[in-house]
Amino acid sequence: MMNPDNIEDIDDRDECLDLCKALNRISGIRTFESCCGHEKTKYHIFFQARSLEALVPVAYFLDRCHNGCDGWYLVAKTDCSMAPITFMIEGPIGAYDDSKKIARCINEWLDSESFIEWSTRKEK
């Protein structure tokens, strides 16, 4: 399980690393835990969002029509004490290549003119 607070110390082979790094580049998103499932359980990344607006690109890039990958979901969660909402990305068992593809889509968008146009539009 990865704790992104120490992201520089993580083994580069960690199957969650690329997607966690890409998510953390999105303004208002901060990952705090992840597990690739080790071919036994589903892929999970847990994160906080400062606003609903920050979730827009996360939801967009998890959608199959924007990444070509099936079975990825964005889930809002709380606990029995009604703690503040946190979010979870859930992906299929063993979807390591998909996670890298989604990370690549996010990074390409963040580095593009489309991101600049989107971020300028949302500030108006």
Q: What is the pLDDT along the chain (124 residues), one digit of tens a residue?
A: 544 455 554 455 578 999 999 999 999 999 999 999 998 999 999 999 999 999 999 999 999 999 999 999 999 999 999 999 999 999 999 999 999 999 999 999 999 998 988 887 766 5
- Cα(75)–Cα(115) distance, integer angstroms: 24
Domain 4-123 has CATH 3.40.50: no
pLDDT at res. 117 = 86
Q: Distance of CA 111 to CAs 17, 24, 102, 107, Å?
A: 19, 14, 14, 6
- Phi, psi for 71 (deg, rounded to 5): 85, 20
pLDDT at 14: 79
